[in-house]
Amino acid sequence: MAAGRGRRLLRQRPLRTRIGALVTALCALALAATALAWLATANGVVIVATELTGLSMVAVVSTLAVRRALLPLEHAADTADTIASGDLTRRITAADTAPATEVGRLAHALNAMLDQIQSAMAAREASEERMRRFVADASHELRTPLQALRGYTELYRHGALPDKASVDDAVDRMHGEVRRMGKLVEALLMLARLDEEGEAPLGPVNLSRIVTDSVRDAAAVEPGRSYTLHIQDGVTVLGDEAQLRSLLANLLSNVRMHTPPAAPCTVELRAGDSQVTLAVQDHGPGIPAHAVGHVFDRFYRADEGRSRTHGGTGLGLAITAAIVEHHHACIDLDSRLDHGTRISVAFPEQPEADHGSAT
């Protein structure tokens, strides 16, 4: 057991220490053999032969030991060549087999660097794929109203609109397409600004007032919908007021577009547990299970039948998620078919907030 522990300790020594110890031990053995030859005989040939044999053994054993010690380095070089050819999944095994040696430490550092490179490459590929998909979706969404506008202008130019009523109807439809295209461009510009702003400065904002104002605006648009409010007074968060108003408008607009006009809506705002929680709960048809994980994707529509004509741009919840990320908050969606959808946003609490009683 002691011998095994000694061998393990020796393997953990630096390469120069191990080779130096081996060469020293072999030279000592060669000198001891030469001294014994001097004592045993006065024959010069025997003494010289003993010295040469000892030196030869020192040279051979040292060479074999060095080659054996450098095998992990050769393996590391082969692995590096494979990685350089494009296979970033390969790793140098010397980091596990000999972690305390120079080669082991080098392998560990290279493996850590390769992990970072592979993660960066994967993130870059994912970002490029999202950008390609975003550009393709944006082009597709913009192409639809442009084709409609071109179609109506071609009809007018070729005299296919025989009377004033037909012209007025075509103009109304063109105006609707222009409005929809304008909304889409505004949403794209907002997403671009949110992507570029990064860590923009945030200030104290009275979220209670923003929520109350937003619900009043939504009730003015849909007087027939019932809104139930549980809003705590004086709740303050660090944020951007314009973006927070946009966040509330998107959440309430999502309720308006995807639930029946008579479906009630509940809005909650409370502070506690070192965070501020905003929740919008509708009692509509809910979201299918396969779509729950994609509702915050850009241009995603859970119901393709509602797209373009009766649905929105497909960017509302994507903008909401971007605003939430910009405010260092978290967003959660819970939806069940025929039981409605609840979207919750948890903001970091503003320490200076003066919280009052719930309303």
Radius of gyration of the chain (CA): 37
For helices 15-40 and 44-84, give the axis angle rounded to 10 degrees: 170
Over residues 107-146, the pLDDT tens digits come to 788 888 888 888 888 888 877 877 777 777 677 667 777 8
Determine phi and psi for 275, rounding to 5 degrees: -155, 160
Indicate whether this model's pTM tops 0.85. Answer: no
Decide: 79 and 39 in contact? Cβ < 8 Å: no
SS3 state of residue 26: helix
Tokens of 129: 């794929």
For helices 15-40 and 2-11, give the axis angle rounded to 10 degrees: 120
Q: Is the dihedral of CA 152, 158, 160, 163 positive or negative?
A: positive
Could you give the C-alpha distances from 254 to 230, 277, 313, 314, 342, in angstroms and in order? 19, 19, 11, 10, 11
Burial of 106 (0-12, 13-18, 19+ CB in 10 A): middle
For helices 207-221 and 241-258, give the axis angle rounded to 10 degrees: 30
Over residues 256-309, the pLDDT tens digits come to 888 888 899 999 999 887 889 999 999 888 888 887 877 877 777 665 544 444
Q: Which residues have C-beta within 8 Å of that of residue 33, sequence separation ≥ 6?
A: 50, 53, 54
Q: What is the pLDDT of residue 354?
A: 45
Q: What is the pLDDT along the chain (359 residues), one digit of tens a residue?
A: 444 554 554 455 566 666 667 677 777 777 777 777 776 776 777 767 777 777 777 777 777 777 776 777 777 777 778 877 877 777 777 656 666 667 777 778 888 888 888 888 888 887 787 777 777 767 766 777 788 888 888 887 887 778 888 888 888 888 888 887 887 777 777 777 776 665 567 889 999 999 999 999 999 888 889 999 999 998 899 888 888 998 998 899 889 888 888 899 999 999 887 889 999 999 888 888 887 877 877 777 665 544 444 455 677 788 888 888 888 899 999 988 878 899 999 998 765 544 443 43
* Nearest residue to 202 (alpha-carbon basis) of 231, 236, 232, 233: 236
Decide: 269 and 213 in contact? Cβ < 8 Å: no
CA distance 331 to 240: 17
Q: What is the pLDDT of residue 206?
A: 92
CA distance 190 to 34: 88
**Which residue type sits at 24?**
T
> What is the full DSSP assignment across 237-280?
EEE-HHHHHHHHHHHHHHHHHHS-TT--EEEEEEEETTEEEEEE
SS3 state of residue 321: helix
Torsion, Cα 341 342 345 349, to 10 degrees, reads 170
